[in-house]
């Protein structure tokens, strides 16, 4: 796949536009970390019901990724990006009747539509970043975009808290009256309306922008899409890469989006900004990756270290003491930060373990795919479905575990072990 010869130009403007798209993706995605405990409080949800907020968002990937690849082959990458944002705009508007009626099913439907729009945008924008410049620097470009995506994850919870949550901090741990519930629900209307309008405007900008189009693949691929999927999965490095991303997104979403709900259960008033802690650690991890890979350490070795760190932190979270504040007293309090339980901060530290998995797996999984790149990309995007099942299993385990929500984090252990397998052996396998 190459840029059309008549549209070759400096990659500065295209990369700037794509960078904005990654920021928007991150902002809309990581709002879930604040939205989940907020809706749990308003609608009085169980941990399992609350996990459905994330499930409905990420499950859209499983049935829209491959149709998205087909649509992009028909309309092109640039139009695919604009259409994806158009669907996201519709989703943002759906939150308005959901908030007004306080019907849980409407919130889930809005999340489903948002997930579908994001899948279309992801399917278009990720291979665009890989192919817009030299292949040898693809991982660096993906890492930079990752910083923007996770940087938006730092900002989104803060914006959510400033616009919505600050007025209701005193209601943590109290039984809400219907008047208070109505007031909190109505607080969602204006922010989501503003986000929808902004995304719609950005879609128009992208549609009219000078983004160069990537050359389309042979149309014969449409008639033989199943054959292409089978052929793509005949590459173990891709097949295992899809699984690795599935487990990675599962632990990434657990760490980023359940931390607020866990904080709420511990009586932490600032639960709405806890996702920012995880995202700050992810941005730090991305930055370390850019500085050290491949200059001082290879991508597979960095992936292996990340997986091992994830295993150790998972064990620390599950078996840690919620009454211990040693980490906060050593790191945060001296700098004027909040005194938070060690277990909560270890969930945030998972951001370090998770940061470079996405940019490391994509180049390794797409290595040698050639004409199957778009099909392989769509399959990799389907790995985002892990974000649906990770929190769901966390919610299920939280409901049956004697350790409650804290014990639910044990579901991350097999995920990190598989990522470790991919880093050690899976990516090397070029044939079955």
**pLDDT higher than threshold 50 for residue 220:** no
**pLDDT higher than threshold 50 for residue 317:** yes
**pLDDT higher than threshold 90 for residue 324:** yes
| Structure confidence at residue 240 (pLDDT) | 94
**pLDDT higher than threshold 60 for residue 3:** no
Superfamily name with CATH number, domain 7-213+221-428: MFS general substrate transporter like domains (1.20.1250.20)
Single out the residue of 92, 343, 73, 325 nearest to residue 222, CA to CA.
Answer: 73
Q: What is the mean pLDDT of residues 414-420?
A: 96
Q: Are 374 and 69 in contact (CB under 8 A)?
A: yes
Highest mean pLDDT among 191-195, 294-298, 377-381: 191-195
Looking at per-residue confidence, does 427 or 193 come out higher? 193
| Structure confidence at residue 214 (pLDDT) | 66
Which runs of consecutive H residues, i.e. helices, occur in 31-59? 32-43, 47-58
| Structure confidence at residue 314 (pLDDT) | 97
- Candidate from 84-93, 189-198, 218-227, 250-259 with smallest mean pLDDT: 218-227
What confidence tier does 316 reach under pLDDT thresholds 50, 70, 90? very high
**pLDDT higher than threshold 50 for residue 223:** no
Give the separation between CA 91 and CA 110, rounded to whole angstroms.
5
Looking at per-residue confidence, does 97 or 131 come out higher? 97
Say what the pTM is: 0.79
Which runs of consecutive H residues, i.e. helices, occur in 258-356? 259-265, 274-292, 299-319, 326-331, 342-354
Single out the residue of 20, 31, 50, 54 nearest to residue 253, CA to CA.
Answer: 54
| Structure confidence at residue 10 (pLDDT) | 57
Single out the residue of 298, 430, 302, 420 nearest to residue 366, CA to CA.
Answer: 430
Bond into 167 cis (ω within 30): no
CB atoms within 10 A of CB 333: 14
Which residues, in sequence order, are CB contacts of 138 under 8 Å at separation 6+?
129, 130, 362, 363
Q: What are the pLDDT digits (tens) for 354-386?
A: 988 988 888 888 887 777 777 887 788 778 889
Q: What is the mean pLDDT of residues 183-192?
A: 88
Show me where the domains of the chain are located. Answer: 7-213+221-428
Q: What is the mean pLDDT of residues 36-65?
A: 87
| Structure confidence at residue 110 (pLDDT) | 95
Highest mean pLDDT among 11-15, 149-153, 213-217, 313-317: 313-317
**pLDDT higher than threshold 70 for residue 170:** no
Single out the residue of 327, 354, 4, 340 nearest to residue 150, CA to CA.
Answer: 354
Give the separation between CA 393 and CA 406, rounded to whole angstroms.
13
Bridge partners (DSSP) listed for residue 214: 3
- The mean of the pLDDT values for the chain is 85
Q: Are 371 and 352 in contact (CB under 8 A)?
A: no
């Amino acid at each position: 796949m190459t840029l059309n010869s008549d549209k070759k130009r400096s990659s500065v403007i295209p990369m700037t536009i794509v960078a904005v798209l990654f920021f928007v993706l991150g902002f809309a995605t990581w709002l879930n970390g604040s939205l989940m405990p907020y809706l749990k409080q308003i609608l009085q949800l169980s941990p399992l019901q609350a996990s459905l907020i994330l499930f409905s968002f990420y499950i859209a990937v499983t049935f829209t990724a491959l149709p998205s690849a087909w649509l992009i082959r028909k309309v092109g990458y640039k139009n695919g990006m604009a259409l994806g944002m158009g669907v996201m705009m519709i989703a943002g508007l759906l939150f308005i009747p959901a908030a007004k009626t306080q019907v849980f099913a409407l919130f889930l439907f809005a999340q489903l539509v948002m997930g579908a729009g994001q899948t279309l945008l992801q399917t278009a924008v990720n291979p665009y970043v890989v192919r817009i410049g030299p292949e040898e620097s693809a991982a660096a470009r993906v890492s930079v975009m990752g910083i923007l995506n996770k940087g938006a994850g730092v900002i989104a919870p803060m914006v959510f808290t400033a616009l919505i949550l600050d007025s209701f901090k005193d209601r943590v741990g109290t039984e809400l009256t219907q008047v208070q519930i109505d007031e909190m629900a109505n607080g969602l209307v204006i922010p989501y309306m503003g986000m929808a309008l902004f995304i719609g405007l950005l879609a128009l900008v992208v549609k009219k922008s000078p983004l160069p189009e990537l050359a389309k693949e042979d149309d014969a691929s449409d008639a033989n899409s199943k054959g292409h999927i089978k052929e793509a999965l005949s590459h173990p490095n891709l097949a295992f890469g899809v699984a690795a991303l599935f487990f990675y997104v599962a632990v990434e979403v657990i760490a980023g989006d359940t931390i607020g709900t866990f904080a709420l259960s511990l009586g932490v008033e600032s639960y709405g900004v806890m996702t920012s802690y995880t995202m700050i650690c992810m941005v730090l991890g991305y930055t370390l990756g850019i500085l050290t890979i491949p200059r001082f350490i290879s991508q597979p070795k960095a992936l292996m270290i990340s997986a091992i760190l994830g295993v150790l932190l998972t064990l620390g979270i599950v078996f840690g003491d919620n009454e211990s504040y040693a980490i906060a007293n050593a790191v945060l309090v001296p700098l004027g930060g909040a005194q938070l339980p060690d277990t909560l901060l270890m969930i945030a530290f998972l951001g370090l373990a998770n940061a470079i998995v996405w940019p490391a797996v994509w180049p390794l999984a797409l290595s040698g795919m050639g004409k199957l790149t778009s099909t392989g990309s769509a399959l990799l995007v389907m790995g985002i479905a892990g974000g649906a099942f990770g929190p769901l299993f966390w919610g299920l385990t939280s409901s049956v575990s004697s350790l409650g929500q804290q014990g639910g984090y044990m579901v991350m252990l097999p995920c990190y072990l598989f990522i470790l397998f991919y880093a050690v052996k899976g990516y090397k396998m070029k044939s079955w």
